[in-house]
Chains A and B, each alone.
Chain A
């Protein structure tokens, strides 16, 4: 048994750490969040140069292998930096869907550009009524000759405002929760009938609500077979879930570290507050939560990479999201509480990590959703 990282993984970790140390302090991040795009194009080009954008892809797709363990190594470091660049949206989610579904021609058109940093993508899957269920799709795609006409409303589209191209999940047949009949279409965001309302989220990430009103695209813009996209969507979502959970673990470890440091310097009643046993035990519990969260993402990543069947992989992803969600509540809230008043301000990075992990707990299914999904599998 061996839980250590490979040499390549260590190099990857080292490369992200060096970047963060040099280019991503709290002030720099705040400026990026406040900028028009909400991410740094310079950073994105650098990510491409450093090969990070190729990490999630298999060698045959031009990537560096695409293991889930590689992914969590990176995502954890991104979490430590509270990084806002749209790596998850463009690379893991949309890139993953293209890898799973696209034909050779589509792949060669898209994947190279993702890896070279020249393409931003966003996947529109959630709807006002879908909550976290990927098979609940009310957005319709109706064939009209060689074209398809899309109607519906999507919410929480990560990176929607920066996307050069949207991947839209729409239903070609079946009722609203039917697992069959779901397809994914490539839609240029400037198509007639597309209207986008974009937000900066509470965690500094960008998202959009997008309305599709009789949007016409060519049938050839479909990724994969007609009505057969759900399996790929779920599989890719599981990778995203493990990636985001790893990002959360990185952020939680920073929250723990900064809280312990603060308790060693903040003086009240003539002593540093870290000497109070009431606080010491709570920090010990935060440490335990971080360790269990770390353990379960390792489990999930190894299962995603292993020979297990899809059901086991999905179950592992749900276990990770659920357990990490529990850690998020504990560590996030305690970090703020132990910091006291300064923890509830926008001045300190603690509040920003707290907001990020809170969003991570919700995205792609919250703790309760994944606990239920785990028990149903």
Chain B
């Protein structure tokens, strides 16, 4: 057993660390530290910086412009990026639709879509969930009916993240009503500017319109936008779900948040002439979160090692999703505890670019409640944690 990096890996880590320190723009870092949202332009700008370095797509094979890195290198990269707080690319293009196009798309589709994803020229969003198909995704009803060389798409998708910024949407649609629900689903790429598509923003619990309902009203989609075979979409979607399920635990971000928490706690008056880092209950809570993070980090490393040895990532990814999201939510809670009364005023403009007023609370502590509320979504999205537990029961425990 050995968890040391090799000399090459250590050198690689040094290179990535130096790059993150020097090339991740200071103004973005400052914003992230203050919990100010980066704009689409800023995220694209950062993606293009990575692209120019050749590091835009750590998980892609080299032939498509990826890095061709080993699992360990990807892990190192994710860690170093998390350590400076640099944003991950919006996942819908890079991590979700691109791998599907690579595996199941034809050459024309690859040439048409992949370079723009790699360069962050085109933004994608996801059309999976529907109002009545959440955890039971396969019961989706949005229909695509063949009409000559087009599909006519009708229906509604929901929980569509950042569709307001997206140029394209990848959708699961029903192309056959007569078979078992999983067998009549196809995977379709749709231009968001097509006539008949409309968006209705859904305001989340923190007041931010982060997601949308997307309505399709007789939307004509060329058949060349079908990925793979008709009615095989569910198989493709499932492959996606087990694909890229390492580096999802959020350990680097968790570590970064805990160190920021400690820094703020040292400056937070406990009301008795000392600071909150001297409060034993509070200290113990931080310690137990640090211990959880250690365990999670090693769980992730063990998964990584087994994937590196050629095994497909299996239900272990469910452990990482459950523990990663629930641990992040516990960190959210402790930020709320620290900020206390100072996280109650709702001043969302404080977290937007160009805010000129006096911020409430220390550091980013005033955003604690909004983050806590918003991030309750983490145990719900991406296959709710109940679904993940079902996967463990079925696939691991044989129940």
Taking Cβ atoms with an 8 Å cutoff, the residues of A that contact B are 126, 128-133, 136, 155-156, 176-177, 199-203, 207, 209, 267-270, 276, 278-279, 329, 333, 336-337, 340-341, 343-347, 351, 354-355, 358-359, 362-363, 366, 368, 371-372
Contacts and interface: CB of A to CB of B under 8 A. Distances in A.
B373 interface: yes
Closest A-B pairs by Cβ, 4 of them: A131-B271, A133-B271, A199-B345, A129-B269
A340 B384 contact: yes
Contact of B347 (A199, A203, A270, A354): A199
Nearest to A365: B340
Interface string B367-384: 001101110110111001
Contacts of A267: 132
Give the interface centre of B341, B369, B389 by most chain A CB atoms within 10 Å: B341
Interface residues of B, number: 47
Contacts of B34: none
Given A129-B269, A131-B270, A329-B333, A343 B342 contact: no
Chain B contact residues, majority secondary structure: mixed
Nearest to A197: B358
Contacts of A128: 269, 342
Nearest to B379: A337
Nearest to A132: B271
A355 B347 contact: no
A132 B204 CA distance: 30
Given A156-B341, A363-B341, A130 B347 contact: no
Interface in B319-362: 333, 336-337, 340-347, 360
18 contacts: A131-B269, A132-B271, A155-B342, A200-B345, A202-B345, A268-B134, A268-B136, A269-B135, A278-B389, A337-B376, A340-B135, A341-B134, A346-B204, A346-B205, A354-B373, A358-B336, A358-B369, A362-B343
A371 B281 CA distance: 10
Given A129-B269, A358-B369, A278 B202 contact: no
Contact of A346 (B207, B268, B336): B207
A344 B384 CA distance: 13
Contacts of B381: 341
Nearest to A361: B336
Contacts of A278: 386, 389
B158 interface: yes
B203 interface: yes
A278 B385 CA distance: 11
Contacts of B389: 278
B46 interface: no
Given A341-B159, A354-B373, A202 B271 contact: no
